[in-house]
């Protein structure tokens, strides 16, 4: 997760027994190298790197990933054909993030090792089709034969179990880890996430790259601009540069872009990653006993 998943969050996740991911999307190549190296020092468990493929310096990012010996890459926001074979030839497992059946099929065709299917509830950038996790997972499952990881709206063991009943082999969790002690997000943003209620987020900027945001002053400015029937250029101009950094990393809750999922309405505290994982897994185990057997 951009501006959240640095080496601290990724290594804490891996040390807790799940797969931590470093979010390369908010890092210059050499910053990514530093995070990978620190993560390797902080954990001897596997971890991966998420690479949104819409940035210009992807070759450099991928070279660093290979040089540093990272073994798992999650790609998103781009064509899975471009990098999958190149990464796999270098011994790397590739997981691609999609938000629709159509793109799940494309990813499978491209030869990825697994798919993350992310519903409309999810925080961060998303698809245009507004397909919810509850509907997306079984539909993707119907069409693909490779491992399926569910994402979007999962912050509890019960939700994890629900998506697995629907056909997921695993889950990817974002928003819950924003409100963790190890997330690199600004404390003010984490607090706003904890205070968020149902209805406080919305998917917007569909003409650019659709993104789910907390409703703050910047979000309101976007909505005001929509009333005038803006061009894509006008939307781009309003968004400007570094809005996400301003909001999530620097803590400007007024002018910043604040990415979080709908499930923020169910996140009430900032906890260490190990406690988040422990709580989710114990709830998952007891829900499984209660509901299945």
Ligand X SMILES: Cc1cc2nc3c(=O)[nH]c(=O)nc-3n(C[C@H](O)[C@H](O)[C@H](O)COP(=O)(O)O)c2cc1C
Q: Which of 36, 42, 107, 93 is nearest to 65 (CA)?
A: 36
173 lies in the site for ligand X, by CB under 6 A = yes
197-226 positions binding ligand X, by CB under 6 A: none
177 phi, psi to nearest 5 deg:
-80, -10
Nearer to ligand X, 195 or 224 (CB): 195
- Please state, in angstroms and as integers, the Cα–Cα distance from residue 121 to each residue in 18, 71, 220, 264, 269, following that order: 22, 29, 20, 10, 20
Distance CA 224, CA 218 (A): 10
Distance CA 95, CA 204 (A): 26
Nearer to ligand X, 33 or 190 (CB): 190
Q: Judged by CB under 6 A, which stretch of 62-70, 88-96, 145-153, 278-286 contacts ligand X? A: 145-153
Q: Judged by CB under 6 A, which stretch of 8-16, 37-45, 173-181, 221-229 contacts ligand X? A: 173-181
Is the distance from CB of 60 to CB of 133 less than 8 angstroms?
Answer: no
Residue of 92, 97, 140, 160 interacting with ligand X (CB under 6 A)? 97
Q: How far is the CB of 227 from ligand X (least distance, A)?
A: 27
Q: How far is the CB of 54 from ligand X (least distance, A)?
A: 10
124 lies in the site for ligand X, by CB under 6 A = yes
- Please state, in angstroms and as integers, the Cα–Cα distance from residue 85 to each residue in 80, 104, 109, 261, following that order: 9, 17, 11, 32
- Work out whether strand 201-204 and strand 211-214 pair parallel, antiparallel, or are unpaired: antiparallel
Distance CA 170, CA 94 (A): 15
Residue of 64, 261, 271, 280 interacting with ligand X (CB under 6 A)? 261
263 lies in the site for ligand X, by CB under 6 A = yes
Nearer to ligand X, 222 or 244 (CB): 244
112 lies in the site for ligand X, by CB under 6 A = no
Residue of 11, 16, 99, 175 interacting with ligand X (CB under 6 A)? 175
How does DSSP assign 45-86, residue by residue? S-EEEEEETTSTTHHHHHHHHHHTT--EEEEESS-TTTTHHH
Residue of 52, 80, 210, 247 interacting with ligand X (CB under 6 A)? 52
84 lies in the site for ligand X, by CB under 6 A = no
Question: Which residues are at the interface with ligand X (CB under 6 A)?
Answer: 1-2, 4, 23, 25, 50, 52, 76, 97, 118, 121-124, 151-154, 172-175, 178, 248, 259-261, 263
């Amino acid at each position: 997760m951009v501006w959240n998943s640095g080496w601290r969050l990724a290594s804490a996740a891996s040390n807790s027994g799940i797969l931590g991911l470093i979010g390369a999307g908010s890092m210059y190549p050499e910053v990514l190298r530093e995070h990978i190296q620190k993560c390797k020092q902080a954990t001897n468990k596997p971890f991966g790197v998420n690479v949104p493929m819409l940035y210009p310096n992807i070759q450099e990012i991928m070279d660093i990933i290979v040089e540093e010996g990272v073994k798992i890459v999650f790609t998103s926001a781009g064509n899975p054909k471009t990098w999958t074979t190149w990464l796999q030839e270098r011994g790397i497992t590739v997981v691609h993030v999609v938000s629709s059946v159509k793109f799940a099929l494309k990813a499978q065709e491209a030869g990825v090792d697994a798919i993350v299917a992310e519903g409309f509830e999810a925080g961060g950038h998303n698809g245009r089709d507004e397909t919810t996790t509850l509907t997306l997972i079984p539909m993707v499952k119907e069409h693909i034969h490779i491992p399926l990881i569910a994402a979007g709206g999962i912050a509890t063991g019960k939700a994890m179990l629900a998506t697995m009943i629907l056909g997921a082999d695993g889950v990817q969790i974002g928003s819950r880890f924003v409100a963790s002690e190890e997330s690199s997000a600004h404390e003010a943003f984490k607090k706003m996430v904890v205070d968020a209620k149902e209805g406080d987020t919305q998917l917007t900027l569909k003409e650019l790259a659709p993104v789910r945001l907390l409703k703050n002053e910047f979000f309101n400015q976007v909505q005001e601009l929509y009333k005038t029937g803006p061009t894509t250029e006008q939307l781009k101009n309003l968004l400007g540069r570094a809005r996400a950094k301003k909001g999530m990393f620097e803590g400007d809750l007024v002018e910043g872009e604040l990415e979080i999922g709908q499930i923020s309405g169910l996140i009430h505290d900032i906890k260490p990653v190990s406690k988040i994982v422990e709580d989710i897994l114990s709830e998952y185990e007891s829900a499984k006993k209660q509901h299945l057997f």
